[in-house]
Every structure is written in C-alpha cells, then in structure tokens.
Amino acid sequence: MIVIPAIDLKAGRCVRLLQGRFDRETVYGDDPAAMARRWAEAGAEWIHIVDLEGSVGRKPVNQEAILAIRAAVSANLELGGGIRDLDTIALYLDRGLNRIILGTAAMRDPNLVREAARRFPGKIAVGLDARGSKVVVEGWTEDSDQDYLDLARRFQGLGVAALIYTDVDRDGMRTGPNLERTRTLARAVDIPVVASGGVKDLEDIRTLLPLEADGVIGVICGKALYEGSLDLGQALTVAGGR
C-alpha cells in the first residue's frame, strides 16, 4: 500500500483544516517546497497537493507554490483544487505534475473526466469527498444529494487512474479511517481506491492493509504527520513501501 503525505496550500503556506472548515485552520509552514523535500527525503513516492483556495474559488490560486514543489522534489505529485477544464489539466501536466484530481468538476461534468482520461491516460483521478454517503463539492462548502457509490460507478471503464475517497467528517480529526465505506467503495468498482481522512497512527495504517485485497492501493495522511502521531518512515515500512 502506498502512503501519501498531503500538502494543503492556502495563501502559499502549508495548512491543515479540520473537516475542511476554513475557520479551523492550522499553519504548519511557510515553505511548501521545503515541506515536500521533508516528505520526499523520508521516502515518499507520491505527494498529495490540494489548492484549498482554488477549490472554493473555482480556479487555480497557489500555482507558484505548486510549481516550487515540483522543482524541489522528484517524487510523483498529484494535485486537486479548482481544476475545471482541459486547459488547466494540460498546463499542470506539461509543468511536470503526474496526476490531476477532478472533484467538483467530476460530479458536474462527467464528460470532462471522460475526455481528460482519454487525452491523458493514467493521469486523471477522481476525488470523492463525502459526508456520510453524500458527496460534497466546492471545497466541501456545498452538500449534494449524490451518493458516493453511484457517482463512482459513473467512471467505470473510462480509464480513471484512481478514486480518492475522503470521509470529510473524519478529515483532520485523527479518529481513524472509515474502513466500512472505503471497503464498500473498493468492492463496488474496478477502479483503484485511495483512502483519506482520519488517519492517526501506525495502527490505522495496519487496519487499512487488509483492504488491499479489495482494491485499496493507498492512503493519504495529513495532520497525523504534521502533529507527530505518525512517522512517515515507519508508515512506509509498515505498508511495505509499495
């Protein structure tokens, strides 16, 4: 299983939000590139980047910081937040990012996912952010009536590289990942799943490992790494470094 450290960007800084709420923000550093080097030097093969302001502003905002991260590390980078069209996808891929995550755009314009996956094979992931079973959009500021499993099934057979499932209620809370809903999602589709939200420590990594058999290929870790309750090197060892 792949352990993926997260870098969330706001105003060019590394921050973490509790349950995606902008009024519950903690700043962990003013140099995202240095943070990326820290994770890369610890052994990270992938780094997960979110342009938080882009996600609510509906267009990229932290491009300078994102490109600085790309220049600083050789690890694979995946990026989400405010990406709503093919031109923006192409721009970031041309600048060396490895995977683009479509969230709000995926729900509102599934044809964009279809076309992006066709043009950029292996480079497009879909972000499924949910409270309970219902998808939330626009940087988690808007609820929807869309069931996360029904939305996931729309992308079967389109060449999507991964589904990144985040339990919004657990994000930043360090209360453990939602094993039940993660497993249910992985069994419902043939697309690889990456879990996100709630990881606290090594035991949480261990509890996710049996889900590999169902198609869960990775886990994104954020606050646990920044607060020190999870060591990335140890997590990579426990997960097998795959």
pLDDT tens, N- to C-terminus, the chain (242 residues) = 999 999 999 999 999 776 556 666 788 889 999 999 999 999 999 999 999 887 776 678 899 999 999 999 999 999 999 899 999 999 999 999 999 999 999 999 999 999 999 999 999 999 999 998 899 987 667 788 899 999 999 999 999 999 999 998 887 667 789 999 999 999 999 999 999 999 999 999 999 999 999 999 999 999 999 999 999 999 999 998 44
Spatial contact of 223 and 16, defined as CB atoms under 8 Å apart? yes
Q: What domain count does the chain have?
A: 1
Q: What share of the chain is helix, strand, coil (3-state, %, to 5)?
A: 40, 30, 30
Q: Which two tokens stand for residue 212?
A: 């590999």
| Domain housing 158 | 2-239
What is each CA distance from 34 to 14, 40, 128, in whole angstroms?
A: 10, 10, 29
- CATH number reported for the structural domain that contains residue 87 in this entry: 3.20.20.70
Active site residues: 8, 129
What burial class does residue 120 get, using C-beta atoms within 10 Å of its C-beta: 0-12 exposed, 13-18 middle, 19+ buried? middle
Q: How many CB atoms lie within 10 A of CB 122?
A: 12
Q: What is the pTM of this model?
A: 0.92
